[in-house]
Amino acid sequence: MQIEVNLVKFTKMHGFGNDYLYAYGEVPENISEVSQKLSDRYFGAGSDGMIYISKSDIADFKMRILHPTTPFK
């Protein structure tokens, strides 16, 4: 059996009935799988989605918003 461990540091924030996980830094290659697993309310941290904040070449930063109920690309 082979297990791959990925470490994603995140902060969970909530307000007005929504909660999101915020992660800063490099976006993982398997962003879909990581976001879906972490957003799972029973086996993960539980959230309405994830927001990845990373560096941008044309702005101060860029954000990528992912929802666990929609396909990620």
The answer to the question of residue 37 being in a domain is yes
Asked if residue 15 is part of any domain, the answer here is no
CB 69 within 8 A of CB 48: no
Beta bridge partners of 52: 23, 64
The pLDDT assigned to 71 comes to 54
Band (12; pLDDT cuts 50, 70, 90): very high
- The pLDDT value recorded for residue 34 is 83
Residue 36: its H or E element:
helix 31-39
Predicted pLDDT at 61? 93
Mean pLDDT along residues 13-34: 87
Is residue 5 in a domain?
no
CB of 34 closer than 8 Å to CB of 67: no
Q: Is residue 10 part of a domain?
A: no
CB 40: neighbour CB atoms within 10 A? 13
Mean pLDDT for the chain overall: 83
Number of domains in the chain: 1
Domain assignment of residue 36, given as a range: 20-66
Residue 6 covered by a domain:
no
